[in-house]
Amino acid sequence: MINTVEAMRVLETALMCAQQPLSLRDMRTLLLEEISDDALNQMLGDLGTQWADKGVELVPVASGWRFQSRPEMRPFLDRLHPEKPPRYTRATLETLAIIAYRQPVTRGDMEDIRGVTINSLLIKQLEDRGWVEVIGHREAPGRPALFATTKQFLDDLGLASLSALPALEPVGQRATEAMADGVVAASTPLDGLAMVLPPGLVSDSDMDAQSVPVESHPETAGADRNPTPDFFDSAQAPASHE
Q: pLDDT tens for residues 132-161? A: 999 999 988 889 999 999 999 999 888 888
Domains and CATH numbers, the chain: 4-79 (1.10.10.10), 90-233 (1.10.10.10)
Residue 9 has pLDDT above 90, yes or no: yes
Cβ neighbours of residue 96 closer than 8 Å, sequence gap 6 or more? 88, 126, 131, 132, 149, 193
Q: What is the pTM of this model?
A: 0.69
Comparing 178 with 157, the larger pLDDT belongs to: 157
Position 209 pLDDT exceeds 80: no
> What whole-number distance in Å separates Cα of residue 124 and Cα of residue 88?
13
Sorted by sequence, the CB contacts under 8 Å of residue 115 that are 6+ apart come out as 184, 185, 186, 213, 214
Confidence of residue 100 (pLDDT cuts 50, 70, 90): very high
